[in-house]
Amino acid sequence: MKIVLRLHHSLKGKVPIEDGILQIKENMTVEQLLKQLDLKRTTVVVTINKKILPKETTIEENDSIEIYPILIGG
């Protein structure tokens, strides 16, 4: 199934996939997608259709996924 993926510019080049339309397996969770992209879950924040959802959330067809790096501070 296809999803729309947008990567933060600092992640581009660090993951094996370009952002844009992406084909993924059905029933994939956020956690599994990050694994496939070789991204450490604790270093990024993922939004699905602009919402932050638990890592166990199953991604649906045509979902818009955005991934940003987490900043340490404060």
Q: How far is the CB of 70 from another protein (least distance, A)?
A: 5
Q: Which of residues 43, 49, 58, 62 is near another protein by CB under 8 A?
A: 43
- 21: how many CB neighbours lie within 10 A of its CB? 10
Q: Is 4 in the site for another protein (CB under 8 A)?
A: no
Q: Is 8 in the site for another protein (CB under 8 A)?
A: yes
- 33: how many CB neighbours lie within 10 A of its CB? 23
What's the CA gap between 20 and 64, in Å, rounded? 10
Phi first, then psi, for residue 48 (nearest 5°) are -115, 120
**Count of chain residues binding another protein (CB under 8 A):** 19
The residues that touch another protein, with contacts defined as CB under 8 A, are 8-10, 42-45, 47, 52-55, 68-74
